Amino acid sequence: MKISKIKDFFVSVEVIPPLRGHSIDEIYKVVDKIAPFNPAFISVTKHPAELEYYEVDGRILKLPKVRRPGTMGIVAALKMRYDIDVVPHLTCIGNSKFELEELLIDLDFIGIDNVFVVRGDKKRNVIKKDGQYEYAYQLVEQIFNMNKGKYLYQNAKKTDFCIGVAGYPEKHFESPNMTEDIKYLKRKIEAGAKFVITQMFFDEKKYIDFVERLKKENITIPIIPGIKPITSYKSAKKLPGTFFIDIPEKLLEDLREAKTEKEEFFVGIRHTIKMIEKLREYGIPGIHIFTMSKPDPVLEILKNI
């Protein structure tokens, strides 16, 4: 199933791999609860290796380690266990173009139809690889070429990936302004992207304004809103510093006035449901919910929509 060709309103979810050394059962516990709602697809995030310090035999060693490994294993396991389309994240940072080609060949072998391309965060301790792309559009071009049978150094079997990329209703924090940010998004689409999943936002007007600006640039591929339920005042205060997004004043005030954690939870859920209803009135293709490995907020939303 190609995400770009889904006609009816759909719900999809994102999961993150468990921490190194933890069990995939952590993922199953989340998806087991969500699967009965028939999500259109499940996306799985990817994390690059970072340099960390370890004491080994009295010596301090600096070693590469992925905090949340197993993305591709989880993709295969979810596909087999639930018979649901699974979408792996592919990151430029931390992967060479040669490694990415091999990874794409493996994904083609196991029948993956859709991939989601991101540049990745430029953290100071992330290991940079030779042959690593600097921009997401470069990886989109590589995949688009593989779909035409053009591999890095040979012509071979055509793949058939539907390529998704990220969009930012409040602009990427590195972009000087929204106009510049949309130029980068347009470049990814011109390179071959067929759908967009947005960064989280908490005011439907941000998404609507974003899409209207894209229409003026003749961008008509599906723009899928990324939804993150806020369920506590603490998380509402923390999110802007991590994801560079705004929290509406009314939502923050309502969370602050809640007397218990349960009240906070339902304040956030009601806000999310109301926002989704307004988005559906506008005419969104579907919603993509970031689970953050917490199924309860997602279930509450799914029950109500």
Which are the catalytic amino acids? 14
Q: What is the dihedral sign for C-alpha 30, 35, 71, 287?
A: negative
> In angstroms, rounded to a whole number, what is the distance separating the alpha carbons of residues 123 and 294?
25
Give the chain's end-to-end CA distance (angstroms, integer). 23
Give the DSSP H/E element, type plus range, for residue 138. helix 136-147
Write the single-letter amino acid at 233: Y
CB count, 10 Å around CB of 103? 17
How buried is 54 (Cβ within 10 angstroms: 0-12 exposed, 13-18 middle, 19+ buried)? exposed
Query: Residue 251, SS3?
Result: helix
Separation of alpha carbons 34 and 299, rounded Å: 7
CA 206, CA 246: separation in Å to the nearest integer?
Answer: 10
Give SS3 for 118: strand
List the one residue out of 38, 48, 31 whose CA is nearest residue 11: 38
CA distances from 46 to 69, 74, 87, 232, 270 (A): 8, 11, 11, 26, 30
Q: How far is CA 292 from the centre of its chain?
A: 11
3-state secondary structure of 59: strand
